[in-house]
Structure 1
C-alpha cells in the first residue's frame, strides 16, 4: 500500500507540468498612464482641491464601468490627480454623484467596501502583478487600508499604517484628498514608475467603475489590469521609521465551571524596523493576543475542522509569504499562524499557550525576490503538560515571467527545554516544499503546482502532499481542473490539514451569460464534480459530490443561486453529525448516498434595510435535513449598523441515532460616535456549543494607530442559562515613531 501512495505523486507532477508550463501568456496592453507632479509646496489636507498645484497636475479620467457592464464608460465619472513631495504621496479625487445622499454604513475605520460608497487605490510598487498596497476612502473621509496578494484575490484588511484622508460632500459630487507618507510604503530606490489603478464603488447608482478597464469575469481588484503612475523625478529610499508599539493590559476573569477567579496585568510590545528598501523586521516581546475581536461561531455538520482567519497584527504584514503555500482550497496548508499560541491540555481541550517572544523578517529583496523568516518561542505550561516549543518558518519566492512565481519553504516545530510531557515521536515536526504559482498577464490562466514533504522522529518515508490545479477564465467560461494527493502520514503541526490519505480529482465548468435585457445583469450555469479515493483502502472511492448550480447577479446588485447536489460519503469510522453527547453514532465502514437542494438570496446593499435568506433540504446520510437561515440589517447612516442572523439545522436520523434541532443566532450592533470612537456589541447563541456569549468592545483611537480598548465578555450555558465565563479587560496600545 505504501508503494501505491508513492506512485501517485509522479502522476500529479506530470499533470502539473503539462497544465502549467505549456499555457500561453496572453497579455494586457496597458495604455493608460498618469504623471505624478513633484511639489515643494505644503498641502492643507482638508478635502478641498483648492491649492494651485492641484490645478497644474495631470488628470486621470475616462473611468470604465465594471458593473453593471464592462463595455461602456461610467455614468458618473471620476477624475484622479497625483502629487508627490520628498516625503509624501498625495492623491486627489473628484467624483460626480447623482445627489448628496451617499451610502455609508458607519464611520469606523476599515469599513466594508461593498456596503459603502468609496474610492480606492491600488499601488503595485514593485510592478510584480502579484502584490500591492490598497487604500480606500468614503465620502465621509473614513479610511481603510490593506495588503493585496495572490494577484488580487487575497485582501488582508487587518494591516494598519499611518496615512491621512479628508473628504468634502456636495449635492452633485464629492472630493477627497489623500496623503500617504513614503515611509508607510515599500518600493525600489530610484523608482520612476509604479503600476497603479484607482477604482470606485458608487452604490447610489449600483455602479462600479475603474480607471483601467477590467473584464467583468475577472475580480474587480485584479492586479492583472493596471495603469502606470510615472514620477517626474526618481523616488528616494523607502525608509519606514523605527516604530515601538508598547501595550499594557489589565484583565480580570472568572471561570464559573471550576469557580476560579484571576486578575492579570501584562505589558509588552512590538517593534518595527526597516531593512533596506523592501524588508520589514518585526520584533515582539511578551505579546498580548487577548481577544478584543471575537471569532464568529459556526455550526459544524461535517467531520472536519474549519479554518478561521488570522486577526493578530504581528502576523499580518506580508502574510502571503507564509500562509499562501499549499493547497488552493485549504485542504493542506503547511503553515497556519493561528496554530502558534494554542495547545492541547491533558483533556484534549484547545487552550492559550503563552508566547515569550519572536521575530519576523519579510518583504522584497529586489523586484524579483521575496524573503520571509519567522521565529516564535512559546512557553512551557507544566500544569497542562505542554512543552516549550520553537516555531519557525523560512520562505523564499522568485518571480517568474510577468505575474507567476515559484517559492520554497521550510517549517519547523521543535520542542525545547525539558520534554517530560512529550512522547519521542512528538519532539519535532518539519515540512519542506516548493510551490509554482501561475498567473498569465491577463489572468485568464491561473494555477498552482506544489510538492511538500513532512518529517517526524523516525518517520521520513513518504509523508507527501501535492496538488496540480488550473483555472481557465475567458469572458464566458470558467473551467477548473484540480488534482490533489495527501499521504496518510503527512503531518504539519503548524499547518492546517483537516484530512489526510486521499487522492482527489475536481472538475468544474461554468457558462456565463450576459443578457441585454431583463432584470439579470449576469447569470451562469455551473457543473462541479469532486471525487476522493483512499490510497490505504486500495483506492476505494470514499467521497464524491456532483453539483449543478445556477447563479445570478441582478442589475440592482442583489444575488441569488439555486443548486442540486448528489453526495456519496463512505464513513471509515463511526460519526455523529448531530454531536449529541451519548448519542449512537452512524456506523463506520459503510457508504451513504444522499441528494440535497440549496437556495440563497442576498438583497442589494444600497437600501437602508438589507436582508438575505438561504435554505437546504433533502437527505442527509441515512436521514433527512432541513436547514434555513436568514439575516436582516438596518443602518442609521452614518452612525449605526444593526443586524440579526438566524440559522436553523434540523437533522432527522432513524433510530437508534439522535435527532437534533441546532440553532445559531447572531446579533450585531456597531455604533460610531465619531471617526475615532466606536462601540461594537456581538451576541451569539449556539445550542450546539451550549453557549450564549456577549462581547462588548469600546474602542477609542486617540492617536494614529493607537487605541484604548475596554472589552467585556460574558458567557452562559444555554440549557440552564447559568453563568459560564466572564471577563473584562482594559488594553492600551500606542504607536511611537522614533
Structure 2
C-alpha cells in the first residue's frame, strides 16, 4: 500500500510539474531608453528586462531541460519590439552554410522566435537569426500543421545583429510593430522559440513540444504579456517600384527582343489587422527558376508560389479543399494561359488588388482581383480573376471558411468559346485542430458553375487524423466530380473517389544511437464513378524508418501498385513511341532504400534508390543530392536522378537523366551569386540560370540574371536572355 501511495504522490508531482511547465509566461517591459541594435547586450535595460525562462530539450529527448540554455528578454517602446538573446553553446565551431537571408533552419546553428499576435493558434510571424547575424522571416499559417503553411518568401523590414563570445553568442532584434498585425489595446501575445545547436546535436524549445509534433505547430505556445497595452498601429505606406530591362533571343524562330518595363507594388496597412496590396504592371520574370523534375505519371505537378504579391496571408486563399487533388485556388494559374495550340504560355498581368487580414480576433477576410492582358496573336482573351474568402475561428484552434471564385473573360473576340467565357466556384471548409493538436482534420464541399452546367460539378472531401507519441493515423477521402472545374485551381484529375489511410507506430528506445523508429502502412485507392465505380488505382506502401541521434536518417519501403489506363500512355514521354494500350490494368511493385546524413556535415548526402516492375516492364531508379559546404562563403551541391525503364517491344525503353549542379557564393550579407545548371534528357533541355543579387538597402535589390537553354540531343541553343532588374522598398 505504501508503494502504491508513493507512486501516486510521484505521479501527481509529475503531473503538477508538467502542468506548471505548460503555464509559461513572461512580461515585456515598456521602455523609453535608446537601444542600438548591434548584437551587444550592453544597454542597462537588458539587465532589468524579465527573462522568458529556461528552454526544454526537443531532440534527442523531450522530457529534460536543454543542456545548453538560451535566455530571451524583450522590451518595447511606442514603435518597436526589441529582443535580446543570449545563446549558450559548447564552443565556437558554428555551422553557417551561407550568409544569404532566409536560410533553412535545419543543418545549421540558429534561433527562431514565433509570435501569435491574435492568440488564435492559426497564424504567426517567425523571425530568426544565426551567430553571424544572418536573418530570416517566415509566415506560419494553418496552425503550423505542416511545411505547406511555412512561407519563407515573405519579406518585411526589421533589424538584427549578433556577436560571438567564448561559450555563447548574443543577438539583438529590433522589429517594428508595423511588421505585425494585432488588435489595438492588446496586452498579450502567444510566444514560442526554438533553436538548433549543431555542435551538441541538440534542438530545444522555450515551450515544451512532444517529439511527435512539429516545432512550428502553434498548439504549443506560452504567453508574453505587455506591461503597457499596445496602441493603434500607424498606417504605413510602402511603395515598391521596379525597373526591368531584358533582352532575349528565341533561336527556334530566330527572333529577338529588347524590352524595358516599369511598374510596382504598394502595401497599405488598414488599421492593425488588414493589409491592402496593389500591383500595377507587375514583373514576375524569373530571377529564381523552378527546379525541374522527371515526371513518369499522367498528371501535372504543382510548384510553389514565389511571387511576393501573392504571399501575405496566402493561406486565406490557397488552403481550401485538398492540396493534392482538389485545390480550388492555385495562385500560379494567374499569369499563365493556354494559347491556340494548347500550350501553356505566360500571360501579362495588367494590375490587381489584394485585401487580406483580420476584421476582428476571430474573423479573417480575403479579397483578390487581378486583370490579365489580351493577346490576340495567341488567341488569349483578357480575363478578370477574383476571389473572396471569409474564415471564422471556432472552438480553440478550428475555423470555418467560405469562398467565391470567379474567372471571367472580357471582350467579344471570335476565339472566345462560350464554354470558356467564365468559371465560378463556391465552397465551405471546416478545418479541425484540437487545442493540443492530437486531433486534426478538414471537411469541405465545393461546387463549380460554367456555361452548359451538367450534373457532377461538385468536389468534396473529409480528412481526420490523430497524432500521439506512439501512434500517428489519418484517413483522407476525396471526391471530384466529372464536371467539376476550377480554372484558377489545381485539379489533378476529375471523376474520382479517392481514399488514403496511414497508420504509423513509433518506438522510442531509451538507450542506444536510435532516437526513434517506426512502421507505417499507407494504402491509397481510387475509384472512377464514370466507369461504374471501377477501382482504377491503388498504391499500398509499407515503410520502416529510423531517425538517429546524430541527425542522420534511413529507411526501407515496399510498394504495390495497380493502374488501370483508360487511355494509352507512354511513361517515358518518347516522341513517336508506341504507347502502352489503354482500357487495361497493370500491376507492379518495388522495394526502395533511403538515407540522409547529418545535413550539418561539411559534406552531406541524401539518397534514395528503388528497383522493381513497372507497368509491363521494369524500372530502376536512383536519386542523390550531395552538398559541400565551405562556410560561410561557398556552397556546392549536385543533384542526380536516374531512371532506367525497360518495357517489352514494341514499347519504348529509356534511360532518363536529371542532373542539377548548383554553385552558391555569398560575398557578404548583401551580395550573393548563384548559378544553377539543369540537364534533363526527358525534356531535351540544358538550362543555365546565373543570378547576381545586391541587396543595397533593406528589401531593395539589384539583380543581374542570365538564362540560357540548349537542346541536349543536338546541343543547339533554344532561348537566351539577360535581365537587369532594380527594386526599391520605400516607406512613406
Q: TM-score range by the shorter chain?
A: over 0.9
- Residue number among 664, 671, 677 corresponding to 2:665 in the alignment: 671
The match for 1:291 is 286
Residue from 460, 465, 474 that aligns with 1:480: 474
The counterpart of 1:42, out of the listed 34, 39, 49, is 34
Instruction: Provide the rounded CA distance (Å) in 2 between the counterparts of 1:203 and 1:602.
Output: 16
User: Conserved in 1, the CA contact under 8 Å of 2:235 and 2:271?
Assistant: no
TM-superposed deviation, 1:60: 1.6
Shift of 1:240: 4.5
Distance 1:272 1:288 in 2: 16
Shift of 1:171: 2.4
2:707 is the counterpart of 1:713:
yes
1:131 and 2:137 aligned: no
Number of the residue aligned with 1:75: 67
Aligned to 2:441: 447
C-alpha deviations, 1:378-398, integer Å up to 9, x for none? 000001000100000000000
Give the conservation status (yes or no) of the 8 Å contact 1:188–1:238: no
Q: Deviations over 1:258-289 (max 9, x none)?
A: 11100000000001111121000000000000
Within 5 A, what are the aligned runs for 1:447-526? 447-459=441-453, 461-526=455-520
Q: Distance in 2 between matches of 1:609 and 1:531?
A: 40
* Residue aligned with 1:115, SS: coil
Corresponding position of 1:178:
173
1:244 — aligned with what? Answer: 239
Output aligned runs, 1:23-422, within 5 Å: 30-152=22-144, 153=146, 154-327=149-322, 329-422=323-416
Partner of 2:717: 723
Distance 1:234 1:723 in 2: 62
Q: Is 512-521 or 387-396 further displaced after alignment? A: 512-521
Kindly state the Cα deviation for residue 418 of structure 1 after the two structures are TM-superposed: 2.9
DSSP-derived class of the 1:338 partner: helix
Asked if the contact 1:106/1:637 (under 8 Å) is kept, the reply is yes
Long gaps (5+) in structure 1: 1-26
CA RMSD of aligned residues (A): 1.0
Cα distance in 2 for partners of 1:721, 1:115 equals 38
- 1:695 and 2:689 equivalent? yes
Residue 9 of structure 2 aligns with which residue? none
Structure 2 residue aligned with 1:19: none
Q: CA deviation at 1:421?
A: 1.3
CA distance in 2, matches of 1:371, 1:448: 19
SS at match of 1:235: coil
1:462 deviation in Å? 2.8
Give the match for residue 7 of structure 2: none
SS in 2 for 1:113: coil
State the shift of 1:71 in Å: 1.1
Are 1:238 and 1:278, in contact at CA under 8 Å, matched by a contact in 2? no
- How far has the Cα of 1:115 moved from its partner? 2.5
**2: CA distance, partners of 1:525 / 1:622:** 30
Task: Identify unmatched segments of 5+ residues in structure 2.
Answer: 1-18
Q: TM-score, structure 2 length as denominator?
A: 0.96
Alignment of 1:632-651 (within 5 A): 632-651=626-645
Quote the offset at 1:47 in angstroms: 0.5
Contact 2:117/2:181, CA 8 A, preserved across alignment: yes
Asked whether the 8 Å contact 2:39–2:170 carries over to 1, the reply is: yes
Distance 2:454 2:132 in 1: 58
- After alignment, is 290-299 or 604-613 more displaced? 604-613
For residue 559 of structure 1, report the CA deviation from its aligned partner: 1.1
Paired with 2:88 and 2:488, the residues of 1 have a C-alpha distance of 49
Partner residue, 1:606 = 600
- Determine the structure 1 residue equivalent to 2:652: 658
Partner Cα separation in structure 2 for residue 506 and residue 354 of structure 1: 39
After superposition, the C-alpha distances for 1:219-244 in whole angstroms (9 at most, x for unaligned) are 11110000100000100113341111
Contact 1:454–1:460 (Cα < 8 Å) also in 2: no
Indicate if the aligned counterparts of 2:265 and 2:277 stay in contact, CA closer than 8 A: yes
Q: How much does 1:519 deviate?
A: 1.9
The answer on whether the counterparts of 1:203 and 1:605 sit within 8 Å (CA) in structure 2 is no
Rounded Cα–Cα distance in structure 2 between residues aligned with 1:462 and 1:570: 22
CA distance in 1, matches of 2:413, 2:497: 36
For residue 28 of structure 1, report the CA deviation from its aligned partner.
11
Q: Following the alignment from structure 1 to structure 2, what is the Cα–Cα distance between the partners of residues 230 and 417?
A: 56
Deviation at 1:624, TM superposition (A): 0.2
Q: CA deviation at 1:205?
A: 1.4
Give the C-alpha shift of residue 422 in structure 1: 1.6
Greater relative CO (CA pairs within 8 A, separation 6+): 1
Residue 603 of structure 1: how far off its partner (Å): 0.6
Judge conservation of contact 1:668–1:681 (CA < 8 Å) in 2: yes
Q: Secondary structure at the match of 1:72?
A: coil
Q: Once the 2 structures are TM-superposed, how far is the Cα of residue 599 of structure 1 from its aligned partner?
A: 1.2
1:320–1:456 CA distance, 2 compared to 1 (3 A): same
1:440: how far off?
A: 0.2
Deviation readout 1:639-672 (Å, 9 max, x if unpaired)? 1111001110000001110000000000111110
CA distance in 1 between partners of 2:108 and 2:82 (Å): 23
237-246 or 62-71, larger mean C-alpha shift: 237-246
Shift of 1:575: 0.5
Contact 2:540 2:560 in 1 (8 A): yes
Return the offset for 1:184.
Answer: 1.1
Secondary structure at the counterpart of residue 606 of structure 2: strand
Q: Are the aligned partners of 1:185 and 1:240 in contact in 2 as well (CA < 8 Å)?
A: no
Whether 2:620 is the aligned partner of 1:626: answer yes
Is the Cα–Cα contact under 8 Å of residues 188 and 224 in structure 2 kept in the other structure? Answer: yes
- The Cα shift of 1:460 comes to 5.2
- TM-score for both structures, normalised by structure 1: 0.95
Q: Partners of 2:472 and 2:413 in 1: how far apart?
A: 52
Counterpart-to-counterpart distance in 1, 2:246 and 2:464: 49
| Shift in Å, 1:61 | 2.3
3-state secondary structure, aligned to 2:303: coil
Q: How many residues matched?
A: 711
Conserved 8 A contact 2:22-2:208: no
1:617 aligned onto 2:579: no
Post-superposition offset of 1:458: 1.7
String of CA shifts for 1:287-313, please: whole Å, max 9, x gaps.
Answer: 000000000001000111000000000
CA distance in 2, matches of 1:155, 1:377: 28
Quote the Cα distance in structure 1 between the aligned partners of 2:226 and 2:235. 20
Counterpart contact for 1:429–1:492, Cα < 8 Å: yes
- Tell me, in whole angstroms, the C-alpha distance in 2 between the residues paired with 1:203 and 1:492: 46
The residue aligned with 2:6 is none
Structure 1 CA distance for aligned equivalents of residues 572 and 67 of structure 2: 52
